[in-house]
Structure formats: C-alpha cells, structure tokens
Amino acid sequence: MFSRFWGRLSRDIGIDLGTANTLVFVKDKGIVINEPSVVAVNTRSDQIVAVGSDAQKMLGKTPAHIVATRPLVDGVISDFEVTEKMLKYFIDRVHRESLTLAPRPRVVIGIPLDVTEVERKAVEDAALSAGAREVLLIEEPIAAALGARLPVREATGQLIVDIGGGTTEVAVISLGGVVMSRSMRVAGDELTEAIMHYAREHFNLLLGERTAEEVKMKLGSALPLQKPLEMKMRGRDLMTGLPREVTITDTEVREAIQKVLKLMVESVRSTIESTPPELVADIHERGLMMSGGGALLKSLDKLFAHELSIPVQVVDDPLTAVVRGTGVVLEDIEGTRDLLLPSTKN
C-alpha cells in the first residue's frame, strides 16, 4: 500500500551510473540528465559544492578544503558517501518541478558485468540511502541491447560491445541472458591516460586530464584520417616547470592510443573464440553492435570490422544506449524482471 502511495508521488527513474558520465531517464519524459560523474564537496561543512559539469570544471583547481572527485572507478563505487550524495542530488533534481518533499522513486541502475556481490550491494545501498524505495539492477550490455531495440529474447546470438569510461563490456546475448562475456577495465579513461603518457614521454609535457580528454575527442581515431588534423595543447614543461604549448597531430594521438585499442580488439576476439559455434554463426551473419561513449572514437567500427572480419555497426546515439535500456525496463518492469539481476537484499 505504501509502495503504491509513494509511486503516485514519485517518478520512476533509470540511471546509467558511469565512471565518466551519469545519465538519468525519467519514465514518460526521456533522458533529463546527462552530466559528468564528478562531485565537489566542501570538507569543512560536508556540503556538496557542485555536481556534474560545474564540478568537472573544478578538477585540479580546488583549494584544500574543497575536494572534486569522481566517486566511481572502473564502473564501480570507490567512494560510497560521495556516490550517495550524487544520487540524492540527481533524484531531488528530477523531482524539483513536482514539489514532492521526500521523493521515493523506483530506480533501475545499469552496472558492469563482472561486479562482485559486495559491489552490487554498494550500488543498492547507495541508491536506497539516496531516497529510492526499490532498486533494480541490470547488466549494462543487456541494457544497451534493450536501448538499441535488439531482440534479446530470441534464440539468436547478439554480440554487443559497450565501451564506457572505466570498462569495456563484451557480451554474447541469447534468450534474454548473457551466454559468453568479458569485462575489462580498459576503456575511455585508459585512452585519455595513454595521451597523457605520450605527451610526457615525447614532449616532456605534463598534461591535465581535461586537456587530454579534449585532445582525444578532437583528434582521436582508430585508422588514418582522410584529412590530417592537429591542435595546440597546453601543459607544464617537465624540465622548466613553466607553462608550454605544443602542437599535436592525429597521427601522434593514434600512435599514443594504439596499444589500448589493440587490447579492446583482442578482448572481443577472445570472447568470440569462446562462444558456442551456433552462436558464432549468428554473429557472423548479424555482426557486432557497439555502444557507449568509446564507440564515438573516429573509425573504431572500421578497425573492429577489419580485425574481426564481421560487420560492425554503432548503435544510434551510443552514449545513451544503456540509460535508454533502463527506460525500456521502466515501461514494463514486471515483463522485464527476468532480465534483471537478483537483489542482494533477498
């Protein structure tokens, strides 16, 4: 009875709790929040100073009493209290217009494939402490497949690769479940770190994370571009300690990230090699679907297609595929319960 009462006052929401970005889907409204997973906290008053884009601008620029952090590392919670505050902020923000004083929504959250029961429990506890009345968990590749409107319940193999900020998830889905999978902690963040490492090694330049991210987004590509690109990047000279500006090209960025891309390709290849032959036949026909922010890297789909000899397609709006999948669950929670993970509370 109480659940029905809170249900009338609250809006059910789906959350893609990512290492780099957190997206929030509200039933009947669509995606209402797409913010970086960054929180700035004042350690003197224990109050949130900023969340999302505003907090991201503070990274590396805060005084001692303000700490700007990313509370999720490799897709799992590394700072429970900050994650709880971030979730509460997003839940309250969703309900700001409805004038609900104490929202108690049902929340669907996408989580990585290989999380432990302890890590799953941490996600559930953080959401419940933030105000959720019920927490439903779904594996990110299943959510991404639902978001891409793939027929996950059919007896055919669907190969999906979800490249996020902290993890790359490779999964073969059939009959509503994951038949074969591999989850590796090599994804978008490692591409950024590779660029920072390259700048240090080849230019004697210490780059900030935000600058390296900008270089990756503007110049990053998996294969040579038809039209060469270049941009200026600023950092600290490791010899003099003073600011310095250098020009970097798309060829140099490609050289910087090629080892990380090779690891991603090998992860997909080894997953296919371990897949039952009947499903491999389906994959050969249907190909591979790519989702996640990492899928936006220029010509990454062409690299995968060349290396794996199968068709590769990037889903529409890959960055939002997982959160759109949580929205599909919200539309019919009872009809999709078989796709959800069991609660750690039972």
Average pLDDT value for residue range 268-274: 94
- Residue 224 pLDDT more than 90? yes
Model pTM? 0.88
Look at 280 and 76; give whichever has higher pLDDT.
280
pLDDT tier at 345 (50, 70, 90 boundaries)? low
- Beta strand segments in 27-129, E: 30-36, 39-42, 47-51, 66-69, 72-73, 76-77, 106-111
Q: Buried b vs exposed e over 240-249: b needs ≥16 C-beta within 10 Å?
A: eeeebeeebe
* Average pLDDT score over residue span 123-135: 91
pLDDT score at 100: 58
Share of the chain above pLDDT 70, in %: 95
Q: Contact 145/289 with Cβ under 8 angstroms?
A: yes
- The domain locations on the chain are 2-142+322-339, 156-186+261-318, 188-256
Superfamily of domain 2-142+322-339: ATPase, nucleotide binding domain (3.30.420.40)
Same fold, 156-186+261-318 and 188-256: no
pLDDT reported for residue 283: 94
pLDDT at site 113: 86
Fold that domain 188-256 belongs to in CATH: Actin; Chain A, domain 4 (3.90.640)
**pLDDT grade, residue 6 (50/70/90)?**
very low
Return the CATH number of the domain spanning residue range 156-186+261-318.
3.30.420.40
Least confident piece of the model among 84-88, 172-176, 240-244, 265-269: 84-88
Structure tokens at 240: 């003099």
Return all residues near 34 (Cβ < 8 A) that are at least 6 apart.
21, 22, 23, 24, 319, 320
Predicted confidence (pLDDT) per residue in 44-60, tens digit: 888 889 988 899 888 87
Average pLDDT over residues 137-161: 92
Whole-number pLDDT of residue 73: 85
